Structure 1
Amino acid sequence: MDVEIVGRMLSTLPTDDDHPYRTGPWRPQTTEFVADDLEVVQGELPTDLDGVYLRNTENPVHPSLKNYHPFDGDGMVHVVGFREGKAFYRNRFVRTDGFLAEQEAGQALWAGLAEPPYLSLREDGWGARGRMKDASSTDVVVHRGTALTSFYQCGDLYRLEPTTAETLGKATWNGRFPFDWGVSAHPKVDDRTGELLFFNYAKDAPYMHYGVVDASDELVHYIDVPLPGPRLPHDMAFTENYVVLGDFPLFWEPEALAHGAHVARFHRDLPSRFAVVPRRGQTRDIRWFEADPTYVLHFVNAYEDGDTIVLDGFYQGDPSPRDNGMGNQWERAFRFLALDRMQSRLHRWRLDLRTGLVREEQLSDSITEFGMMNGTYAGGDYRYAYAATGKPAWFLFDGLVKHDLRTGSEERYAFGDDVFGSETAMAPRVGSTGEDDGYLITLTTDMRADASFCLVLDASRVSDGPVCTLRLPERISSGTHSTWAPGAELRRWRETDRAADAIGL
């Protein structure tokens, strides 16, 4: 492995830090690497794996102003690229405005999720709460050959070169980016149309918008999605003709919000609501469907079955776990991040467009979340979902499950004791002929070996374990969201950009 250190960021975190989401598997990094010809420590790297796996994560470099929340860390993107039986690695901080300002100041400047906004030393910044740093640390997708990182509380979309993770600036959509509202995490890319579908939300009416960016990177559609009040949506889904947005009864307590406090509460007496919107429809075209009260952090997919929209995601049996006095102070404080405490299970809603009724069914008894799929099937009928299992009481992934949605069967792979993974992306094999004809890719942090690895598994034989294990140059911080971008698609966009430059576009 040929390794080069290309940067070290200023960090003021204490050496005696005891916060569990800034230590152990969540210990942040300050070093940026270029590593070529990654060492294969097990198996053989497939020659029909071509593209890049990208993973975003929260990686703090300064102590919080008061109370650190795991979602407050700065964005860092990891890239593992594959071509012709070789692999490379890059990692870079996302150079957000907030990150650069805090590097210059040498300290945190904005209040985090678990802190009152008045603590902020700067009043600018994105976020539905206001005066909150846009860390662009939540999600990553690839649109038109460019990686876009996003923030769960809405903010800018930062543009990154997908093979180097170098920050290229912000998305502007020729000046039509919704700068006053930003964009939420989890915009969706439809590979069939080349469109980017997105939503945003805030504390001001109408409380939500929905928009479409076309394959030419133009904002071509943007409408109000009126809600009863401020909400906390996190994800969306799409079909061939519709998008589905959520209004769930876990949101800020209105009375507390009126006094400047942000206290989330699960309102058990209110239903879950799904907005079904034609992809180029107007506000008047929105149809609302009511379902059992829950909170959905992530959807897997949606598709049309005649006059019914089939929507799959993770139903939380207990969206607001109570403090039962069990565990240490950290387990109790962050109990709402643990999959077992939230009782998160794969679930299906069937939205009948003729009757307006919803039928629901639990698809699995297993506690899983962060579901991924073969992206070429997104928006259409599909069979497989690849989800994470969690360490009890902690926000750590300790294995993965392949859900077969037709048979109900499951295949499992456990990472092992004290090994924790990332969201698992599905990479179709070059010349793929089936939905699970490809590979699953994830990054792991092995606490006993004090090292990190990239695992490549056969998507059709998950329980067999990795077909290849690659060593990374440093133990990385645990993380969440990821994506896969095929190499042929990235090269096509690179040639398109060269041609545009040649004629002065």
Structure 2
Amino acid sequence: MLHYNDDVTLTIAPDNDNPFLQGPFRPTSRQWTADYGDLQVIGDLPRDLNGIFVRNAHNQIHEPMGIYHPFDGDGMLTAVQFEDGRVRFRNRFVQTTGFLAEQAAGKSLWPGLLEPAKASRRGWGAIGAMKDNAGTDVIAHNGKLLACMGQGSEAWRLDPQTLETLGADPDWSRLVRDGVGPHFKVDSATGDMMFFNFPEHPPYMNYGVIDRNNRLVNYTAIELPGARWPHDLGITANYSILHDLPLFFEPEGLKRGEHKLQFNRDLPARFGIIPRFGKGDEVRWFEGSSCYILHLSNCYEEGDEVVMDGCIMPDYKMIPVGKQDGGRQAVYERIRANLDKHNNKTLMHRWRFNLKTGRTHEEYIDDEVTEFPVVSNDFAAARYRYSYNVLYVPGNWLFSGVKKYDLETGAQQRFEYGPGRFGSEPQMARRDGAVEEDDGYLLSLVADMNSDRSELLVFDAKQIDRGPIATVVLPERLSVGTHACWVEADRLHAERPVA
């Protein structure tokens, strides 16, 4: 039966003019439950598509304390479960400590990214002042979901089918006092999960491994020259790749408690390659061209080299968003300019780190602006062929379509959602019994502003340019979001046995 729990009251002021609380970003208070047979499906759902698609999004509840940034809102997970040609749906808030405290108070208790000085309570994140909103990434590990926020946070576990928040991970989060960074990676061949964090205090980075049974089996300090602002890490079968990039808080200002990001164009990017279960003194550092990196596609080993593919920002433009001159509208425009990937171009790129010579080789894969690259879970940390990236609406923080790269032949496919339709990070779901890497389905959650509804599109991953083969219509138009994950049916309760 289709129903919703409207037990969260939005207190955002009716005259709040922040564009990231309106239109495609409009938050919802409703938490829906739709069982098998409740949702409209256009087309035929494949019977060999079995598992759960989960997407995270920032969904603000209360009138913000200061200027709202689109990464400040409370985490809301959307889950669409496929089973034998049927589908069911849930969306739930991640009930972090901050969420529960603000629910009790009925108002915002923490500021966001732009005005951390307004904090009067202890907070989370690399600036130590934010509410732990758990609104950025989500993955599955050991039969549970793990959600966190982009600046680093507690390790929040949830049930993948009910989306019930189970709390901070009881097995190891107390051992990792600086939390988990915005992205963590699971090697589906072993069930290991690799993560990092980046506190403002020495050693400025830590690296860890959680095994397939959810035990912390490695946690080591990574000594950096100072506080940094990394976003992702890479994994191969034997190594992890850590990022020390030249975008970080101005050091002298940081001593005064000021958080002013600056891009140090004269410094190289550094990449630390560490054995998966290695210690900090085993890291080998490689230098690359000065850049910033948000998201990687995949990494793997090839002979003496570690190969890392991802979206490079070679000419990062730092716009001082926090400056209040020009009024609120000018601040909103500066936020939009910083998030616009056509302004800060993100291009598919390849790095090769030679473990024998210590040299780095770089090359561009494509000259079109794309981001949020994803690969099949079964090919993470291994040699792969296909990456699926999002396309951007120029001038805004909105995704206009998806692009498929064949990294073996150079062929490309694309599908654009159309005017007024905006997507999220896609996910590749291999069909039951798949043999080839792209033998399955590409899934993308789309907000349609024309019909005021959200849809989950199902593509044949071999031919995404032909458009969706099925569309699941959700009960309500949800706010646009970013990261997602795919949980295969045989990983809903535990990691697969090691072959």
Q: Please confirm whether the aligned pair reaches a TM-score higher than 0.5, indicating the same fold.
A: yes
Aligned to 2:17: 18
Pair 1:82-2:98 in alignment: no
Q: Which residue of 1 aligns with 2:182?
A: 185
Tell me, what secondary structure is at the counterpart of 1:367?
strand
Q: 1:178: Cα distance to partner?
A: 0.8
Question: In the alignment, what sits opposite 2:257?
Answer: 260
Structure 1 segments unaligned to the other structure (5+ residues): 495-505
SS across alignment from 2:366: coil
Per the alignment, residue 323 of structure 2 pairs with none
Kindly provide the amino acid, as one letter, of the partner of residue 354 in structure 1: K
User: Per-residue deviation at 1:222?
Assistant: 0.6
Cα distance in 2 for partners of 1:19, 1:394 equals: 14
Q: 1:175 to 1:305 in 2, by over 3 A?
A: closer
Q: Is the 8 A contact 1:318 1:341 kept in 2?
A: no
* Structure 1, 66-75 or 123-132: larger mean CA deviation: 123-132
Residue 43 of structure 1, CA deviation? 1.7
Mapped partners of 2:405, 2:124: distance in 1: 37
Residue 365 of structure 1, aligned match among 360, 364, 367: 367
- Amino acid aligned to 1:249: P
Alpha-carbon RMSD across the aligned residues, in angstroms, is: 1.7
Cα distance between partner residues in 2 of 1:62 and 1:446:
25
Take 1:308 and 1:73, find their aligned partners in 2: how far apart are those partners?
40
**Mapping for residues 308-319 of structure 1, pairs under 5 Å:** 308-319=305-316
Shift of 1:467: 0.4
Distance 1:38 1:366, change over 3 A: farther
After superposition, where does 1:61-460 map in structure 2 within 5 Å?
A: 61-117=61-117, 119-121=118-120, 123-174=121-172, 176-179=174-177, 181-321=178-318, 329=330, 330-460=332-462
Q: Which residue of 2 aligns with 1:51?
A: 51
TM-superposition CA deviations, 1:289-310 (whole Å, max 9, x none): 0000000000111000011000
Corresponding residue of 1:503: none
2-structure distance, mates of 1:171, 1:441: 28
Separation in 2, partners of 1:446, 1:399: 13
Q: What does residue 500 of structure 1 align with?
A: none
Alpha-carbon shift at residue 174 of structure 1 (Å): 5.0
Query: Matched residues in 2 for 1:175 and 1:478: separation?
Result: 29
Residue 31 (str. 1) matches residue 30 (str. 2): yes
Distance 1:395 1:10, change over 3 A: same
CA drift at 1:320: 1.9
CA drift at 1:317: 2.9
Separation (CA, whole Å) in 2 of partners of 1:175 and 1:130: 17
Does the CA contact (< 8 Å) of 2:208 and 2:220 recur in 1? yes
Q: Secondary structure at the match of 2:207?
A: strand
Aligned residues of 1:212 and 1:220 also touching (Cα < 8 A) = yes
Tell me the distance in 1 between the aligned counterparts of 2:139 and 2:129.
26
Quick one: percent identity of the two aligned structures?
A: 44
Q: 1:446 to 1:365 in 2, by over 3 A?
A: same
Do 2:139 and 2:147's aligned partners in 1 also have CA atoms closer than 8 Å?
yes
Per-residue CA shift, 1:63-98, capped at 9, x if unaligned? 221111111000000000000111111000000000
- How far the C-alpha of 1:234 sits from its partner, in A, is 0.6
Distance in 1 (CA, whole Å) between partners of 2:242 and 2:153 is 18
Query: Does the 8 Å CA contact 1:38/1:470 hold for their aligned counterparts?
Result: no
Equivalent pair of 2:124/2:153 in contact (CA under 8 Å): yes
- Deviation for aligned residue 1:319: 1.9
Name the structure 2 match of 1:502. Answer: none
Change (3 A) 1:61 1:175: closer
**Aligned amino acid, residue 105 of structure 1:** A
Question: Cα offset for 1:51?
Answer: 0.3
8 Å CA contact 2:233–2:243 kept in 1: the answer is yes
Give CA deviations for 1:190-247 in whole Å, capped at 9, x if unaligned.
1111111110111101000000111121111111111110000110010010000101
Question: Aligned partner of 1:71: which letter?
Answer: F
CA 1:250 to 1:190, structure 2 compared with 1: closer, same or farther past 3 Å?
Answer: same
Secondary structure at 1:376's aligned position in 2?
helix
Distance in 1 of aligned mates of 2:493 and 2:87: 16
* Cα 1:400–1:380 shift into 2, 3 Å: same
Write the distance in 2 (CA, Å) between the matches of 1:175 and 1:198: 12
**Residue identity in the other structure for 1:440:** L
Contact 2:204 2:224 in 1 (8 A): yes
Is the 1:38–1:471 contact (alpha carbons within 8 Å) kept by the matching residues of 2? no
Secondary structure of 2:102 counterpart: helix
Letter in 2 for 1:22: L
- 2:471 aligned with 1:472, yes or no? no
Alpha-carbon separation, structure 1, partners of 2:45 and 2:338 = 38
| 1:114-172 Cα deviation digits (max 9, x unpaired) | 0033x123x22222211211111110010011001011211111111101111111113
Aligned residues: 488
* TM-score, reference length from structure 2: 0.95
- Deviations along 1:354-376, one digit per CA (max 9) or x if unpaired, are 11110000001111000111110
Measured at CA, do residues 424 and 102 of structure 1 come closer, stay the same or move farther in structure 2, by a change above 3 Å?
Answer: same
Instruction: Output the CA distance in 2 between the equivalents of 1:493 and 1:211.
Output: 18
Q: Closer, same or farther in 2 for the Cα pair 1:457/1:38, shift >3 Å?
A: farther
For the Cα contact (< 8 Å) 1:38–1:86, is it kept in 2? no
Q: Which moved more, 1:445-454 or 1:125-134?
A: 125-134
